[in-house]
Chains A and B, each alone.
Chain A
Amino acid sequence: MQLKNIDRGGAVLAIAVLAILPLVFDSRYLIGVLTVAAIYGIWSVSWDFMSGLTGRENFGHSLFIGVGAYTAGFLNTVWSMNAWWSLPASVVMAVVFALIMGIPTLRLKGPYFALAMLSGAVIMQRLMLIFWEYTGGEEGINGIEPLIRSPLHFYWFVLAVLVVTTVVLVALARSRWGLILKAIRGDEATCQSAGLNVTFYKIASLVISAGVAGMGGALYAHYQLQVSPQLFAVVTSITIITMVYVGGMASIYGAIGGALLLTLMTELLRNFGEWRLMVYSVALILILFYLPQGLVAPTWERLRRSLSGGRS
């Protein structure tokens, strides 16, 4: 499937709008919301790359996010290192954890893989609480420095990271790599007998997914200026999965739309603060039922078809 000019045009337009929005409204609040949405976008896109393509739903994505965030936290406060070191460090740590968790569990199928990853995240969360003397326990690590002082510039930076990551992942997905991952989802045994090193591809995709998520975690740490065990919680993973479902599984770019939609929805519902998770859960149920293909990507597909006059 070729990337048409219309796809490129659409992407450029979307990016431009996102970048200019805060300038139009001149609201610090909006910048904050968009920054969080962009970070969730990074997490969702990374999840979709691995789980969407291979069909191995990872219920423990929060593990990589938390690891990245805590790495940033430690480097910045305990070891007083410059905030920019967080980015590569968080990627490295997340990759390490991906290997530790991934290698033994990737041979498991469907729900079992999901729950094995979930267990990993839960264990990390618990460990953060148990070793509270080193990790700050329930309250986590405070006093992290912002990466870029100006909220607007930081937002643009995060947006840039999101765009670059998405472009790279989409490119990978459309390449031979992506083809193999989708084939693995279809029938792993056949792939194996065809001589493909299935294990390598599965682990590699998990590693890439984790690295990106970890970096997102570091960005989040330098935005919230604080990390807590909540980052490892199941809720974080579920929120991301919901965003991907809304965006359209395996589309990768759709996840960004999902992240934006759901983050904005959260803010709008803030007056009904307690209802947020309820809405998420109900939304998830409705989507699973009525929109198994998601909302954003299918809509774009339809739009693009009608715009290009039915020749797709």
Chain B
Amino acid sequence: MLEIVIFGAVTSAIYAMLAVGFTLIFGVARILNLAHGSFYALGAYGAYVLTSIAGLPLVVATPLVVLGVALFGMGVERVLIRPMRKSQLAVLMISLAVALVVEQALFLIFGSEYRNVPSFVDTKLNIGGVDVAGQRLLTLVVAVAAIGALYAFIQRTRLGSAILAISQDPEAAQYMGIPSDRIFGVVMALSAGLAALAGIMAGPFLSVQPSMHLLPIVKAFAIVVVGGLGSIPGSIVAALMLGYAETLVAYGISTSWTEIVSVAATLLMLVLRPAGFFGKRAAF
């Protein structure tokens, strides 16, 4: 059914934006960042604040929010995560703590009621008999563009090569004089910015409330594990798989089962093939 194809694509697009950032920071810096969902939440709330409270038009607010969250991500990496890098588990715990702090802060400032993030487009399109909100299609387009741009950035620029180098062999990269620490910060910023963008795009039609960071992080983690930690193409493929699996389940059975799909996929992958489909480094 055309409906499933279109909605599945939109869902996959959002997941891909989240997963790519998540896998990037892991592939490069070996950081499993559980605060990644918070960047998504901050993106949506940032758009809400700048448009509703500061009255800025959405086109202006968006780059500001993306930049702001990117800087926040960089700050978190520098101040909280870098000192803990000796223990992967400590990093995990501290990123989780950050996620909780952000959630509580949003809850305390904005309350638990849903907030309204405005859409870029308010029209409805009809594709082959299926009514689709314009904003959803725009999200799909933006996701493809953003991920494409990121990929091009990594493949074509010097900074991008440095990132690739570190992810392939951290020690060798260090010997070559590549400043790993600074690059981690940049990668974190990119990852956060991408997540924030996802929040701004999806905020208008998905829920915007303080605990909105939970589901995205669960999904992102599921995708990244299935696709293989550290592999961008793997994340994209897995995002498509998961996005469509969920859509099929939602339309075929019921929406209650969709959350289980991702979590079960994670668990199964971890148990059966911890390296994921495209992963180079296993979970061992």
Question: Hey, which bits of chain A sit against chain B, CB under 8 A?
Answer: 57, 104-105, 107-112, 114-116, 119-120, 122-123, 126-127, 129-130, 234, 238, 241, 274-275, 277-278, 280-282, 284-285, 288-289, 292
Contacts and interface: CB of A to CB of B under 8 A. Distances in A.
B35 to A, nearest CB: 11
B80 to A, nearest CB: 7
Interface in B184-227: 214, 218, 221, 225
Interface in B101-121: 101, 103-105, 107-108
B259 interface: yes
Contacts of A288: 84, 90, 93-94, 97
A197 to B, nearest CB: 19
A280 B100 contact: yes
B100 A281 contact: yes
Contacts of B270: 105, 108, 112, 115-116, 119
Given A119-B266, A119-B270, A238-B100, A284 B105 contact: no
A126 B101 contact: no
A278 B92 CA distance: 18
Contact of A285 (B94, B104, B225, B283): B94
15 contacts: A57-B93, A108-B270, A109-B284, A114-B89, A114-B92, A119-B267, A123-B260, A127-B260, A238-B100, A277-B104, A278-B108, A281-B98, A282-B101, A288-B97, A289-B83
Nearest to B283: A112
Nearest to B111: A274
A130 B256 contact: yes
Contacts of A115: 32, 221, 225, 266, 270
Given A111-B32, A116-B271, 6 more contacts: A129-B256, A130-B256, A277-B100, A278-B104, A282-B97, A285-B101
A115 B39 CA distance: 20
B105 A278 contact: yes
B257 interface: yes
Q: Please give me the 5 A-B residue pairs with the lowest Cβ-Cβ distance, nearest first.
A: A278-B104, A281-B100, A112-B283, A119-B267, A104-B271
A275 to B, nearest CB: 7
Interface of B: 32, 80, 83-84, 88-90, 92-94, 96-98, 100-101, 103-105, 107-108, 214, 218, 221, 225, 256-257, 259-260, 263-264, 266-267, 270-271, 274, 283-284
Nearest to B112: A274
Candidate in A114, A119, A289 with the most chain B CB atoms within 10 angstroms: A119
B264 A123 contact: yes
A107 B271 CA distance: 9
Contacts of A110: 88-89
A126 B263 CA distance: 10
Contacts of B80: 285
B92 A119 contact: no
Contacts of B98: 281, 285
Contacts, number: 95
Contact of B88 (A111, A129, A274, A284): A111
A79 B104 CA distance: 40
A281 to B, nearest CB: 4
B225 to A, nearest CB: 8
Contacts of B90: 288, 292
B119 to A, nearest CB: 30
Contacts of B32: 111, 115
B274 A111 contact: no
Contacts of A278: 100-101, 104-105, 108
B94 A126 contact: no
B261 to A, nearest CB: 10
Candidate in B88, B94, B283 with the most chain A CB atoms within 10 angstroms: B283
Contacts of B96: 238
A110 B96 CA distance: 15
B94 A123 contact: no
Given A108-B284, A126-B259, A289-B83, A281 B97 contact: yes
Contacts of B100: 238, 277-278, 280-281
Given A274-B107, A285-B80, A116 B97 contact: no
Nearest to B222: A119
Nearest to A56: B89
Given A120-B267, A123-B267, A285-B101, A111 B89 contact: yes
Nearest to A235: B100
B76 to A, nearest CB: 11
B209 to A, nearest CB: 14
A277 B106 CA distance: 12
Contacts of B225: 115
A275 B101 CA distance: 10
A136 to B, nearest CB: 15
A260 B224 CA distance: 38
B27 to A, nearest CB: 15
Contacts of B218: 122
A292 B96 CA distance: 16
Candidate in A57, A109, A116, A289 with the most chain B CB atoms within 10 angstroms: A116
Contacts of A107: 284
